[in-house]
Amino acid sequence: MFFRNLTFFRFPASLKFDDLDAGLVECALKPVGALELSSRGFVSPFGRGEGEALSHRIGDAIWLAAGSEDKLLPSAVVNDLLQKKLVEIEEKEGRKLGGRARKRLKEDLVHELLPRAFVRPSRTDAMIDCEHGFIAVDTSSRKSAEAVVSDVRHALGSFPALPLNAEVAPRSVLTGWIAGDALPDGLSLGDECELRDPTDQGAIVKCQRQELQSDEIGKHLESGKQVTRLALMLDDHVSFVLGEDLTIRKLKFLDGAVDQLESTERDDLRAELDARFALFSAEVRRLFLTLEPALKLSKAE
């Protein structure tokens, strides 16, 4: 269940989640209707058919999963059928339909096709840290992350969560780390970065499997380029790419963390997922608390 990306939002740490479970039940995912295009709601984080619990809590960490069902109705299919209908009407009635009539015909065709359309299920996981006041959503898309936060807000009635805000320019911090500034305790450089010329339409350099404190990178910094994405490692447990948008991508748990899971025997899949979430939530909390002072992340009021 390890997330691959982390988009963070902050909320007041004083916020209580006593009514969360009841709100999640009210907002549970319902099967998409025959004439609906999509449906959203919460699903069990342990997967379909794994019981009715729509959240899982270990200490101050809560695991949620926002699910959706979307009808697959390609516009090319609709437009092709529409053209055939238009030709058929023109040949049969000797007239061409106007704009409004064409629109109504297209809507009728969509309603006709919807009950037979394939349904694509999807889910986006999220972790709420009640103690430190943040929610981490498993996506690098701000739009998708905001949709999950909106779902939580709907379930709770109120959820004053806002995107992370840094009191310093993140790219200046990332650039400094490559240029030789001391990294926070536990952090070390990876082998990937993206550098951009700050001028409009400036050059973009993407490096992978590269020694980041090399002369080659140094020349890019001397020319004025700034780091907008940087690969980092937290001890020997987690590797990730941190962007200037404060989103974490390519999150990967390393042997140092995974060894902790393998050292304990468990009887079933649920116990395995439970152990993974305990490890995951602890590492994400440690990562957040490492980055918070380095990037001077604002706290929610």
**Nearest Cα residue to 9 out of 199, 288, 257:** 288
What pLDDT sits at residue 155? 95
Asked whether residue 278 falls in the same domain as residue 225, the answer is: yes
| pTM for this prediction | 0.86
Total structural domains in the chain?
3
- Averaged pLDDT, 188-202: 90
Q: Residues near 217 by Cβ (< 8 Å), separated by ≥ 6?
A: 178, 193, 195, 207, 210, 211
Q: How far apart are CA 205 and CA 227, in angstroms?
A: 9
What pLDDT sits at residue 24? 95
- Averaged pLDDT, 146-175: 95
Q: Which residues constitute the domain of residue 195? A: 170-295
User: What rounded mean pLDDT belongs to the chain?
Assistant: 89
What pLDDT sits at residue 267? 64
pLDDT surpasses 80 at 146: yes
Asked whether residue 150 falls in the same domain as residue 211, the answer is: no
Query: Sorting pLDDT into bands at 50, 70 and 90, what band is 103?
Result: confident
pLDDT surpasses 90 at 27: yes
Asked whether residue 143 falls in the same domain as residue 102, the answer is: no
Asked whether residue 144 falls in the same domain as residue 283, the answer is: no
What pLDDT sits at residue 242? 97
Q: Lowest-pLDDT range, 22-36, 107-121, 250-264?
A: 250-264
Q: Lowest-pLDDT range, 33-37, 48-52, 274-278, 284-288?
A: 48-52
